[in-house]
Each structure stands twice: as C-alpha cells, then as structure tokens.
Amino acid sequence: MKQFISVNDVKQIDKLVLSALAYKANPFSDKVLGANKRIGCLFLNPSMRTRLSTQIAAQNLGMECIVFNVGQEGWALEFEEEAIMSGNTVEHVKDAAPILGKYFDILAIRTFPSLKNREDDYSELYIKQFIKYAGIPVISLESATLHPLQSLTDIITIQEVLNSSNSWAGDKPKIVLTWAPHVKPLPQCVANSFAQWVNAWGKADFVITHPEDYELSEEFTKGAIITHNQEEALKDADFVYVKNWSTFNDYGKIYTNDPGWMLTNKKLQPTNHAKVMHCLPVRRNVELSDEILDGPDSLVTQEAANRVWAAQAVLGEILTG
Ligand code: CP
C-alpha cells in the first residue's frame, strides 16, 4: 500500500481486517517493523481518538511518531497553485511538504472541509497537495470528504461482533446508516466513508435513512437502499450506525433538526437486537440518547478502542509494502 486516502487504496479489505484483529490479539508481534522509521501526524483540525490511536499504533510497531498541530502552532499554509500570497497564508504547501517528506517516512494529515464551497471541498485539494509534494506515503486522518481509518475501524468492529456471536447464522447482516440531529452543520465525511466501505466490503445488506434533502453523494452511496422512512429502515437491522451530516446538494446547511430522528430504545425494538455505532464525539441526547449510549447495545467504546488496530494494520501494510 502506497497511501491510505480511501477504500480504493485497499486491495483486500478482509485481509486488512484480519491483520487488525491479529494486532489486537498480539499488539507487539511486529514491534521492530517500524524501527528507525518516523511518522509525522499533522493536524489542521482538532482530534482525540485519531491522534492518540495513531500514536499508539506507531509505537506498537516500534515507530517514532511526531504530532504537529499545524492548525494551532504552525504557519498558515497556502494550497492553491500560483497563489499570490498577499493574504493570511504564510507558507505554500509546495515548500512545506517536501521538507516534511525529508523529516518523515510516512506523513498523516487531518483536514476538515470548509462546508462553504462543495466543489472546493470535494476536490480534496489539501490532501492531494500533500501527496503531490511530500514524496512519501500519505495517510488520511480524515479529509474534507472521507474518514477511512474510522471506516476501517467500523468494519473491524462489525466483523468482530459477527465473529463473537454464537447465534450468527452466517447470512449477510443488515447495516443501517441513520442520520441524526445536531446543532451545527457537520461534514459528510464519516457518512460518505462508511457508505463507501460498506459497499466495497459487500458483505451486508446496506440501508441509508435520512430526512428529505439530506442525500449524500451517489459516488459513495451507490449500491445502498436509501429511504426517508427511518422506522422502516430500522426493521430487522443488526447494526445501526448513527451520524449527523449537513446537506450535500444545497451544500453545508441544516434543513431540519427534528429530534424525532434521535435513536431511542423504543426505536430499536423492531431491530434484530441491533448494536449501535457512532464514531464519536457525540452530542448526548441530541444525536444519541443516554439510554442507548449507556446501554448494552452500544458499541461506541469498543469501536473507538479499535481505532488503534485499524491504524496499526494500515501502518503495517505501508511499512511492508
Ligand atoms: N472519530 C474521530 O475521528 O474522533 P477524533 O475526532 O477525536 O479523532
């Protein structure tokens, strides 16, 4: 693997999932694989899970990890080609990225979308410019439109639950991605990425439910059943993935904040004792109810803990590939 920006960089999802679960069983099995190698993790935006899990994963492989909060501590970067830099940006990525390529063996970057201009956000200019100019493998720690380490973790967690379920018959599980309310307009990355990975994995019946006007890009959802009827979608679900996103067509807006879309235990009754997932951080009692987050069907802690093994599997693949 030369880079990890989306599911398209992965040859075999199942192999990566197996590798992650093997690392979970034996975290230090490759403790010298990353010896004398260094990863630079650049954060243009806040993070807890991604930052810490990537650091731990690198450490488990014997690799040094240096975190740089560019958004708070670095020079303001310019990404546009041929920019006349008379505004607020101080350093062009064309100058910064090659230097980072000399300091590190792998570069990992987190950026968020502006949610102001869809074309700009969906061009993924920031991460593409780092790939173009750094000259070393680049890992997305979440980009403007996708969050592949989160989605790999989500597949790992689903597979882990299926593996541990004695009653699982081996048929395809039903996975439902449901929109949830939120007070702020959020990116579509997690939902886009989850849809892209579940579709590519191909081992589930996949349904997406959201209010009208919250359609995601077909580029990621193609292959899923899409409905505005949450109750119908939840029927017989095995896994329910909860996430808010802002509008894609009339870009970056909140059209509704209907609390009726928040998942409750009552809503879960018609499911197949569904397990509930969320990438975190979560707004309690806005996106997801306390009763679910604190109840036996929540996978959120297991899911967040699995971020380490997803990152370790990806780093391991890049280091060996
Ligand atoms: N899920 C996730 O990416 O969490 P952080 O924003 O804390 O990294």
Look up the CATH number of the domain holding residue 93: 3.40.50.1370
Domain that holds residue 137: 7-146+307-320
Residue 24: inside a domain: yes
48 touches ligand 1 (CB under 6 Å): yes
Write out the chain's pLDDT in tens, 321 residues: 999 999 999 999 999 999 999 999 999 999 999 999 999 999 999 999 999 999 999 999 999 999 999 989 999 999 999 999 999 999 999 999 999 999 999 999 999 999 999 999 999 999 999 999 999 999 999 999 999 999 999 999 999 999 998 666 668 999 999 999 999 999 999 999 999 999 999 999 999 999 999 999 999 999 999 999 999 999 999 999 999 999 999 999 999 999 999 999 999 999 999 999 999 999 999 999 999 999 999 999 999 999 999 999 999 999 998
Residue 1: inside a domain: no
Residue 257: inside a domain: yes
Which residue in the block uniquely carries the two structure tokens 């810490």? 52
User: Looking at ligand 1, which residue's alpha carbon is closest to its atom 1?
Assistant: 279
pTM: 0.97
Residue 228: predicted pLDDT:
98
Residue 184: inside a domain: yes
Task: Calculate how far, in angstroms, residue 40's C-alpha sits from the geometric centre of ligand 1.
Answer: 17
Same domain, 129 and 164: no
Same domain, 166 and 244: yes
Residue 2: inside a domain: no
Residue 102: inside a domain: yes
Residue 122: inside a domain: yes
Candidates 254, 295, 28, 17; CA nearest to 153 is 17
Same domain, 111 and 34: yes
Residue 167: predicted pLDDT:
63
Same domain, 107 and 131: yes
Cβ atoms of 193 and 216 within 8 Å: the answer is no
Domains: count for the chain:
2
User: Looking at ligand 1, which residue's alpha carbon is closest to its atom 7?
Assistant: 48
Same domain, 184 and 289: yes
279 touches ligand 1 (CB under 6 Å): yes
Residue 279: predicted pLDDT:
98
Q: How far apart are CA 202 and CA 218, in angstroms?
A: 16
Residue 170: predicted pLDDT:
67
Task: Calculate how far, in angstroms, residue 43's C-alpha sits from the geometric centre of ligand 1.
Answer: 11
Residue 272 burial (10 A CB sphere; 0-12, 13-18, 19+): middle
Same domain, 198 and 138: no
150 touches ligand 1 (CB under 6 Å): yes
Same domain, 79 and 204: no
Q: How far apart are CA 48 and CA 35, in angstroms?
A: 25
Among 146, 151, 241, 307, which residue has the most ligand 1 atoms within 8 Å of its CB, making it the best to mutate?
Answer: 307
Among 50, 110, 243, which residue has the most ligand 1 atoms within 8 Å of its CB, making it the best to mutate?
Answer: 50
Same domain, 81 and 120: yes
Instruction: Give the CA distances from residue 187 to residues 114, 178, 193, 298, 316, in Å, rounded to whole numbers and listed in that order.
Output: 9, 15, 11, 23, 29
3-state SS track over the chain: CCCECCHHHCCCHHHHHHHHHHHHHCCCCCCCCCCCCEEEEEECCCCCHHHHHHHHHHHHCCCEEEEECHHHHCCCEECCCCCCCCCCCCEEHHHHHHHHHHHCCEEEEECCCCCCCHHHHHCCHHHHHHHHHHCCCEEECCCCCCCHHHHHHHHHHHHHHHHHCCCCCCCCCEEEEEECCCCCCCCCHHHHHHHHHHHHHCCCEEEEECCCCCCCCHHHHCCCEEECCHHHHHCCCCEEEEECCCCCCCCCCCCCCCHHHCECHHHHCCCCCCEEECCCCCCECCCECHHHHCCCCECHHHHHHCHHHHHHHHHHHHHHC
Residue 172: predicted pLDDT:
93
Same domain, 201 and 160: yes
Same domain, 57 and 91: yes
Residue 169: predicted pLDDT:
66
CA atoms within 13 A of residue 251's CA, in its CB half-sphere: 12
Same domain, 100 and 176: no
Residue 171: inside a domain: yes
Residue 10: predicted pLDDT:
98
Q: How far apart are CA 156 and CA 153, in angstroms?
A: 5
Candidates 294, 270, 282; CA nearest to 243 is 282
CB atoms within 10 A of CB 301: 10
Same domain, 218 and 237: yes
